[in-house]
Chains A and B, each alone.
Chain A
């Protein structure tokens, strides 16, 4: 029987001399690997996508079409690289959108300075 298919309580950061291999494997578990983890039932809502969600999907498809990433790299970035807390905190398409912004900075299509300046410029339109 696997050692992994058991519920695990969160713990405080351990002292280095108490950090064993089992704990290491728990830390390295990918955030999207949620099978068997404790959760509560969700209310199913029958609703259409927000416009920004549809736009986000199109942006991400265009990034693939133009060879900026493939679907697996997108999934790595939006499901795993952002870490457990963001995986659970952001809406589904929120993770797509922040990941689209991240890839254009990582692959040096725009600088973070340019992106931040643009965000600030757009925000001021709504003041």
Chain B
């Protein structure tokens, strides 16, 4: 078993801070309108199905890290940018009442899941 795990890499630095500078330039910036891709769910993802194909706004590029789909099998070779994105609740849930039409939901998604509208 490989014992040179990223526990070593993260010690004293933190995770995801230990991946800083490894993802290249961020593809999206604050204010960009992006759509969440509907990629396959097989085996593992943290991208909720309810936000697939829904358009949202990039709030900030937060950090670099291996995507959940890679890191879940201990593959840390290709870190990518993560973004906090903001949805309108009414865009996510068809039954969401007009009374609360200003409600938003924020979550964090990795770059592979997003495309410019």
In contact, A107 and B1 (Cβ under 8 angstroms): yes
Q: How large is the interface on B (under 10, 10 to 19, 20 to 34, 35 or more residues)?
A: 20 to 34
Most chain A beta carbons < 10 A, residue from B49, B51, B53: B49
Contact between A70 and B40, CB atoms less than 8 A apart: no
Q: In the complex, which residues of chain B have a beta carbon less than 8 angstroms from the beta carbon of A67? A: 1-5, 7-8
Bound-state Cα–Cα, A70 to B15, Å = 11
CA A30 to CA B95, docked complex, whole Å = 24
The chain B residue with its CB closest to the CB of A34 is B48
Which of A1-9, A44-52, A85-93, A113-121 lies at the binding interface?
Answer: A1-9
Structural contact, B94 and A5, CB atoms closer than 8 A: yes
| Nearest chain B residue, comparing its CB with the CB of A109 | B1
In the assembled complex, how far is the CB of residue B107 from the closest CB belonging to chain A, in whole angstroms? 10
> In the bound complex, how far is the Cα of B54 from the Cα of A11, in angstroms?
27
Least CB separation from B44: chain A residue: A76
Looking at the complex, which one of A2, A35, A64, A76 makes contact with B38 (CB distance below 8 Å)?
A2
With contact pairs A25-B41, A28-B40, A67-B1 given, residues A72 and B48 touching in the complex (Cβ less than 8 Å): no
CB distance from B43 to the nearest CB of A (A): 8
Q: Is B93 an interface residue (CB 8 A)?
A: yes
17 A-B contacts (beta carbon < 8 Å):
A2-B51, A2-B53, A2-B54, A3-B52, A4-B52, A5-B50, A28-B40, A29-B41, A30-B44, A67-B4, A67-B8, A69-B74, A70-B7, A72-B66, A72-B71, A73-B74, A80-B43
Residues of A within 8 A of B (CB): 1-5, 25, 28-30, 32-33, 35-36, 64-73, 75-76, 80, 107, 109
